Structure 1
């Protein structure tokens, strides 16, 4: 017996979604013997892109039954059935999550029509439900609505059953949920953690912090610690008694807090932040002809780099991007060693600084732009990033090129007001680690808002 289903959700963070619509068709291999279709009030916000995709909005769901009101019917119609869905891992996870919120363990065998289709109908251009059924001539209506998608999945499944005449492939593809290997105490810890960005602290039975980490999904990352088999994870699993956390919203804030907290607390299972973690730096010098030269080299003890890199490979990749973006000379950036002109000059992509043909001032203006872009030396500025809540932003303050601290502010604040800034900021240590973290984050996140402060 099969239960072909489709679920529409609110969207949002992993394991925090809610069901907005569900359709289930109970199928005995020959005909439909039962069905259940219902809107569901998710008791949480629906993401705007989901509203646009499905057409389901909060007004439509105001008087719909809540999940606990339809849970019994779902259990009954799927009892002793194999759940069948297009990308069944998603639908099954959502169902288990909803039942878990009610304190009920929901387990079923499952079957994915995406996996089946790839085996039984190979070489299709796409295996998304809409494109697949269209290419197979299967009629479909109400795309991205639970009933329309469930009916299309049912028709597809009938075709797959016919193609697998021996039913060998279908039997081999059925997934049986394995019993969790997690110890009960570890499961309880994970259940209390959010799927949000922040810093987490793993404590032993005495309450001491034994490990500090950061993640864009705290629940997922701690779960990895509890299930991985490497040496550090095994030590964590043996010693952990509890996990506390602090939401940050911003990954940059999490990175900065993690760095400072590790230095302050020195947890036994954290490897010390080594200088080799960012061993390469960007430096500049003026050559005999007056041109600004840029180099990626190992960080020098008594010289401050313009910016830093984890390894030489990432530094060279950065330099290649700068050469392309600012039309620099490969010879003057250390990417090419030559006694004459660089290769790019030969193909007319270099203006000739390598052979003193380009005006020094013109070239240096572009080279200086690279330095200015990648250094916050002597600058007064704030970096505005995501906050912990919808109506909040995080702020990182830099004054005269020195990292001062972090804070959070309401969207109504005039954030460039110095007095307000001073009241919001929690002071933090400025060091080479924080410089690397900030500069690296700025390079990677083009949408980060950077505001220069006026004196």
Structure 2
């Protein structure tokens, strides 16, 4: 999951990645980075995620961080809520990065729970009630949202009989086409 400074195009201010091992989030191998943006964080973005210019002033910039982010992301499948946004932003910041595929829990939720009135991450957390007691940080921060998204994926994936069905429901257009059997779990 990534968070930006509120500009267009965004400068990254936070990135978190939470690998899945045997169907569970592996917090021991997770990565989280706070990044000093080149341009200031807008007041709106700071209200959403709580990251202010002052909180980021002593953090490394993207140039110092991108290698570690790229190494952790590797060529694994990426899961995010409203994933085309994270995929687009991360691809712009990491032009050499090529994930095996992208799963969008927003698309998956619309296919899995077609009668909900809203599909925001907050609405899905309220509907699904995943166990978030071990979630690091706070809501709207990349680490918490990555953990919540992983828990939602686990819950929704149980409703699909095959990987192909899940991919059909969850892979957004304009992202890499799956070429091989997944290693999600």
Map 1:216-227 onto structure 2 (within 5 A).
none
Residue number among 155, 158, 163 corresponding to 1:159 in the alignment: 155
C-alpha distance after superposition, 1:108-155 (max 9, x if no partner):
221100001111222112100011111211255611111111111011
- Pairing 1:150–2:149 present: no
Match of 1:72 in 2: 67
Match of 2:15 in 1: 22
Greater relative contact order (CA < 8 Å, ≥ 6 in sequence): 2
**Structure 2 CA distance for partners of 1:157 and 1:58, relative to 1, 3 Å:** same
Give the conservation status (yes or no) of the 8 Å contact 1:40–1:66: yes
C-alpha distance after superposition, 1:413-435 (max 9, x if no partner):
xxxxxxxxxxxxxxxxxxxxxxx
- Pairing 1:40–2:35 present: yes
Shift, 1:32, TM fit = 3.3
Distance 1:129 1:56 in 2: 19
Distance 1:164 1:32 in 2: 19
Gap runs ≥5 in structure 1: 1-5, 179-455
Shift, 1:57, TM fit = 0.3
**Structure 2 CA distance for partners of 1:131 and 1:90, relative to 1, 3 Å:** same
Match of 2:182 in 1: none
* SS of structure 2 residue aligned to 1:163: coil
Shift, 1:82, TM fit = 0.8
Distance 1:115 1:36 in 2: 25
Distance 2:6 2:140 in 1: 13
**Structure 2 CA distance for partners of 1:29 and 1:161, relative to 1, 3 Å:** farther
Map 1:282-297 onto structure 2 (within 5 A).
none
Distance 1:61 1:167 in 2: 40
Map 1:20-419 onto structure 2 (within 5 A).
20-33=13-26, 34-99=29-94, 104-108=95-99, 109-140=101-132, 142-172=138-168, 173-174=170-171, 176-177=175-176
Please list every run of at least 4 consecutive aligned residues from structure 1 whose deviation after the TM superposition is greater than 6 angstroms: none
* SS of structure 2 residue aligned to 1:122: coil
Give the conservation status (yes or no) of the 8 Å contact 2:103–2:167: no
TM-score (norm 2): 0.82
* SS of structure 1 residue aligned to 2:6: coil
* SS of structure 1 residue aligned to 2:18: strand
Number of matched residues? 167
- RMSD over equivalenced CA pairs, Å: 1.8
Match of 1:9 in 2: 4
Give the conservation status (yes or no) of the 8 Å contact 2:36–2:61: yes
Larger Rg: 1
Shift, 1:50, TM fit = 0.9
* SS of structure 2 residue aligned to 1:23: strand
C-alpha distance after superposition, 1:295-323 (max 9, x if no partner):
xxxxxxxxxxxxxxxxxxxxxxxxxxxxx
Shift, 1:29, TM fit = 4.3
Distance 1:51 1:77 in 2: 26
